[in-house]
Structure 1
Amino acid sequence: MNHVEEERVKNTYKYSEVSHFQMGDGFTRNMEPVKTGRIFLAAVAANLSAFVVGTCLGWTSPVGPKLKAEDTSDSPLSKPINAEEDAWISSLIAIGALIAPFVAGPLADRIGRKWVLLSSSVFFVIASILNMVATDVVVLYCSRLIQGFGVGFVMTVTPMYVGEIATDSVRGATGSLMQLFIVSGILYVYAIGPYVSYQALQWCCIVTPIIFDAVFFFMPESPYYFAGKGRKTDALRSLQFLRGQSAEAVHDEMAEIQANVEEAMANKGTIMDLFKNSGNRKALFICAGLIAFQQLSGINVVLFNSQSIFASANTGLDPAVATIIIGCVQVASSGLTPIVADRLGRKIMLLTSASVMTLGLAALGAFFYMQLEVGDISSVAWMPVPALIVYNIVYCTGFGPLPWAVLGEMFPANIKSVASSMVASTCWILGFVVTRWYPALDALGSYYAFWLFAIFCVVAFFFVLFVVMETKGLSLQEIQDRLNGKTK
């Protein structure tokens, strides 16, 4: 860096009361508009990793019937899998995703958010190769565990990266993109899986992380990470790219980022700091609670077993087609969230999501109860499809994306990676419990499982109503002030 550039960077970080920023008429000379399109470009590129996650989450729905079929001509295994093996294949991804955040969080602070996300693709590629060469169910167990590591990397670091590159006005929208890309990845395998061979599906899955790396490689690192490493020139360039503005125009924001990072570095957070500070405790309780209810709503059961659920319901509609319909509904409804998240606010959307999910799950449970106890269900054979459509719409506009968006904005910089690791692990502990033991509950009667999920959604409604704070339109510092009881 030459002398002129050093001086420019140094001047960019200095506050000046009589600087060239103020004109005699009281207006600011450099009122350059923020080019939010660049923020969304970087956020979309980062969330291509979430698309890959979606292919992993939806993988068992089309693959499960192939692995369980008596005819093993389209299965890599020599014999059909049983219910126990099916449960492990569905749930082991959660174990990998549970462990990974404790590596991904610290690694994001050491080598950067960008490189951790790029490295997640290694896990997905290895897992796809194992799926291709598998001849024993143990190999599929290993591949699902490795997929889980990649999922844990992505879902820990993506909210962190997107939360740090966005402005206050679009953080809710950009934070909601992850759910849209996850369900798009799910739809991808739902639509392809039933109509291609097992091996062809693995090739379709292996290309997605490669495309993500090719696109995201050209995006900037978070300016917060660069500032924390003392790389002020790189931080300034990153912020200029993301805002589409000159160095002078991003002066105030860059100075605020630098001040926040310096304070965070001076007060380097540990896991104990999550519990010592009342604001951090409240943030952890809110984020962990939202993530817990996200999993206890039964979403992974629906995602992993959609085709089997429709086959059991015997609605007369091809289970593969019904599953694709659900996938389309998920994508369409998730597309609404970035548009309305910063208009309606997080809280009202979460309340709506919890209440309507309750109705959808209760209706689904009632259908399976009548199927088992009454027998003749011809008059209500239509019920499962609209019940799951309603459930998926409100999940994808509320409890799907918003807990992750809230996680990206609730914690101060010095403990964000630690907090993200803990909350992401909470997600996958419960994800494993729900998916691993759903078959046992289903054996007693599917209605037990869906009614239990409905009860959890009722509890979630009151949790949001009385515990969750609204973050719409607040800066990261204002959120911290409110969490700590500081008001202006």
Structure 2
Amino acid sequence: MENKQELGYKKVPIFEEGVIETSTLPSIEKAFVTITTTGDTNRTFLYIAACTVNIVSFICGTSLGWTSPEIPLLKNLTTSPLEEIISPSQEGWVGSFLPLAAAIGPIGGGVLADKIGRKKSLLIANIPFFVAFLVNFFANSIYHFFLSRFLCGLGIGIIFTALPMYMGEIADDEVRGALGSFMQLFIVIGLCFSYILGPYVPMKTFNLILLTPPVAFSILFGGFVPDSPYYLIQSGRIDEALKALIKFRGCSRASAQKELEIMRTQIEEDSKSKGNFAETFKIVLGSRGLKMALFISLNLVTWQQLSGINIVLFYTQSIFTDAGASLAPEICTIITGVVQIVASGATPLLVERWGKRFLLMLSAIGMGLSQGVLSYFFYMKEDQSKDVSDIGWVPIVSLVVFIITYCLGFGPLAWAVLGELFPGNVKSVASSATASFCWILGFFITNYFGALTSLVGKSGSFGLFTICCFISAGFVYKFLPETTGKSLIEIQAILSGEN
């Protein structure tokens, strides 16, 4: 096999006839190695594994979409299991308890991912959902719903930390971007499931149905899908790691052995600079490339939240009701859910062709334009008290465009980029910090959206989200390099300012 040479670095010995000399491999910080297979790669199991693990993303989606159909039911004594209609304050807390707990979940998620592995962490994260839906089934007090939303948030916080790590570590460079976008696809399928089923079945029946996916995930993922090869090597379980690589790559033992040796070398280098949370954070801040990676990650999730996505997801049906849309709010909500699935399904196909950077900029501009139109609609309807019955279709189209552009970029790709930017020795800490920061923002935005609306109206609120969307497009253009198809070493070299 021909040697590969990274620009600006010395030649790196690669494999000859299935043998790798690990002693000749340079430091991971100084070398770039391209793994090539002998043509026997079959990714069928990899895609099956990606779909199986993302059942838990589907569960996240059902939880995120739960409030849209269920809050209207809690406002009606004939459909609510409570003795009183919930107050606006209680409604706000039902929505915001989830992001509040999701800000706490990543702290434990990062620790669990390192201590017991990505797979067991995801299985543990599945438990709070089962308990939450069970609590909802028996709920007769608003505090039961507070508890269930908090439990869902804990699960989501762990999942948003461990799942991008797992997906980034089981995928090879060529399909990492596409597989990384599966998380968003399955989330929106879950959202649509809640949108379609929630308004038309009794609350108890709906929550009973939601108990099924957590059970299915435990059985399928727990029984048939291996843990991350990276973690297995890190834990000294080399034989298991090799078997996992053979499964995920669908390749020969010799080909898998080559990649395993490269991963072992990376892990050995990572372990030299790995410590506790404070020490690891010092490592990040002491490296130009890692510091830039953290800066990009925090900003991507900041602009994702400031796009107003949680407001749209949690209160879709209420937004359509307030707008006086020309179709029934329940139907409008289902339309947006279906659109989310179609748009998210297109992302894995488009990301390898157009790259993450372009799709993120397109996403930000599209979200900004659509929310600008929605802001102007509410300005005419509420601030100017004009008759908007003839343009009742505007909020539907605006939110459909918002959802399409969000799902093409900032929905899946903010998390996919996070899974690509950090080496293993700092990945859990960086992922935990980023996910916690994301959901802290989500909590404040969700909890205080009502207060913001009272202060500046719906037109002002959506106008603010519009401005944030356009700023995020400028951020991506200025700071984010293209990561699609690049290895960790290439990405770190770019972030460090090297050729």
Q: Is the 8 Å Cα contact of residues 30 and 248 (structure 1) preserved in structure 2?
A: no
Q: CA deviation at 1:483?
A: 1.8
Distance 1:31 1:19, change over 3 A: closer
CA–CA distance in 2 between the matches of 1:479 and 1:359?
31
Q: Secondary structure at the match of 2:54?
A: helix
Counterpart mapping for 1:68-217 below 5 A = 68-69=75-76, 72-217=77-222
Q: Establish whether residue 302 from structure 1 lines up as the match of residue 309 from structure 2.
A: no
Q: CA deviation at 1:381?
A: 1.7
Q: CA deviation at 1:73?
A: 2.8
Distance 1:387 1:278, change over 3 A: same
Q: Is the 8 Å Cα contact of residues 18 and 255 (structure 2) preserved in structure 1?
A: no
Q: CA deviation at 1:442?
A: 2.2
Code of the residue aligned with 1:464 in structure 2: it is: V
Q: Is the 8 Å Cα contact of residues 40 and 252 (structure 2) preserved in structure 1?
A: no
Report what 2:286 is aligned to: 276
CA–CA distance in 2 between the matches of 1:227 and 1:30?
20
Q: Is the 8 Å Cα contact of residues 21 and 29 (structure 1) preserved in structure 2?
A: no
Q: CA deviation at 1:316?
A: 2.6
Report what 1:9 is aligned to: none
CA–CA distance in 1 between the matches of 2:390 and 2:246?
61
Code of the residue aligned with 2:273 in structure 1: it is: N
Code of the residue aligned with 1:431 in structure 2: it is: G
Report what 1:406 is aligned to: 417
Q: Secondary structure at the match of 1:66?
A: helix
Code of the residue aligned with 2:354 in structure 1: it is: L
Q: Secondary structure at the match of 2:112?
A: helix
Report what 1:53 is aligned to: 60
Q: CA deviation at 1:340?
A: 1.1
Q: Structure 1 stretches of 5 or more lacking a match?
A: 1-14, 23-27
Q: Is the 8 Å Cα contact of residues 94 and 431 (structure 1) preserved in structure 2?
A: yes
Q: CA deviation at 1:472?
A: 1.5
Distance 1:316 1:380, change over 3 A: closer
Code of the residue aligned with 1:401 in structure 2: it is: P
Report what 2:480 is aligned to: 468
Distance 1:226 1:17, change over 3 A: closer
Q: Is the 8 Å Cα contact of residues 18 and 254 (structure 2) preserved in structure 1?
A: no
Report what 1:448 is aligned to: 460
Counterpart mapping for 1:225-374 below 5 A = 225-269=231-275, 270-372=280-382, 373-374=384-385
Q: Is the 8 Å Cα contact of residues 130 and 143 (structure 1) preserved in structure 2?
A: yes
Code of the residue aligned with 2:464 in structure 1: it is: L
Name which of structure 1's ranges 194-203 and 272-281 shifts more when overlaid on structure 2. Answer: 272-281
Q: Is the 8 Å Cα contact of residues 368 and 446 (structure 1) preserved in structure 2?
A: yes
Q: CA deviation at 1:32?
A: 3.4
CA–CA distance in 2 between the matches of 1:18 and 1:430?
51
Q: Is the 8 Å Cα contact of residues 19 and 258 (structure 2) preserved in structure 1?
A: no
Q: Is the 8 Å Cα contact of residues 172 and 405 (structure 1) preserved in structure 2?
A: yes
Q: CA deviation at 1:20?
A: 5.5
CA–CA distance in 1 between the matches of 2:65 and 2:369?
24
Distance 1:29 1:358, change over 3 A: closer
Code of the residue aligned with 1:133 in structure 2: it is: F
Distance 1:238 1:296, change over 3 A: same
1:97-151, Cα deviation, whole Å (9 max, x unpaired): 1011111111111111001101112100111111112221112111111111011
CA–CA distance in 2 between the matches of 1:29 and 1:135?
59
CA–CA distance in 1 between the matches of 2:214 and 2:19?
44
CA–CA distance in 2 between the matches of 1:468 and 1:64?
38
CA–CA distance in 2 between the matches of 1:31 and 1:316?
58
Report what 1:391 is aligned to: 402
Distance 1:467 1:64, change over 3 A: same
Distance 1:343 1:17, change over 3 A: closer
Q: Is the 8 Å Cα contact of residues 32 and 249 (structure 1) preserved in structure 2?
A: no
Report what 1:6 is aligned to: none
CA–CA distance in 1 between the matches of 2:257 and 2:239?
12
Q: Secondary structure at the match of 1:453?
A: helix
CA–CA distance in 1 between the matches of 2:466 and 2:45?
40
Q: Secondary structure at the match of 1:248?
A: helix
Code of the residue aligned with 2:473 in structure 1: it is: F
CA–CA distance in 2 between the matches of 1:16 and 1:286?
32
Q: Structure 1-normalised TM-score?
A: 0.93
Code of the residue aligned with 1:350 in structure 2: it is: L
CA–CA distance in 2 between the matches of 1:239 and 1:30?
13
1:417-476, Cα deviation, whole Å (9 max, x unpaired): 000000001110111011101111223421111100001001101100101111011012
Q: Structure 2 stretches of 5 or more lacking a match?
A: 1-12, 21-34
Distance 1:20 1:471, change over 3 A: closer
Identity of aligned residues (%): 42
Q: Secondary structure at the match of 1:399?
A: coil
Q: Structure 2-normalised TM-score?
A: 0.91
Q: CA deviation at 1:198?
A: 0.6
Report what 2:4 is aligned to: none
Code of the residue aligned with 1:391 in structure 2: it is: F
Name which of structure 1's ranges 467-476 and 174-183 shifts more when overlaid on structure 2. Answer: 467-476
Q: CA deviation at 1:17?
A: 6.7
1:140-167, Cα deviation, whole Å (9 max, x unpaired): 1111111110111111111000000001
Distance 1:214 1:271, change over 3 A: same
Report what 1:35 is aligned to: 42
CA–CA distance in 2 between the matches of 1:29 and 1:240?
14
Pick the aligned partner of 1:419 from 409, 430, 434: 430
Q: Secondary structure at the match of 2:126?
A: helix
1:14-36, Cα deviation, whole Å (9 max, x unpaired): x99765569xxxxx997133212
CA–CA distance in 1 between the matches of 2:400 and 2:221?
33
CA–CA distance in 2 between the matches of 1:128 and 1:106?
26
Distance 1:178 1:17, change over 3 A: closer
> What is the root-mean-square deviation in Å for CA atoms of aligned residues?
1.6
Distance 1:279 1:16, change over 3 A: closer
Distance 1:44 1:139, change over 3 A: same
1:249-286, Cα deviation, whole Å (9 max, x unpaired): 12321111111111111211512222121111100010
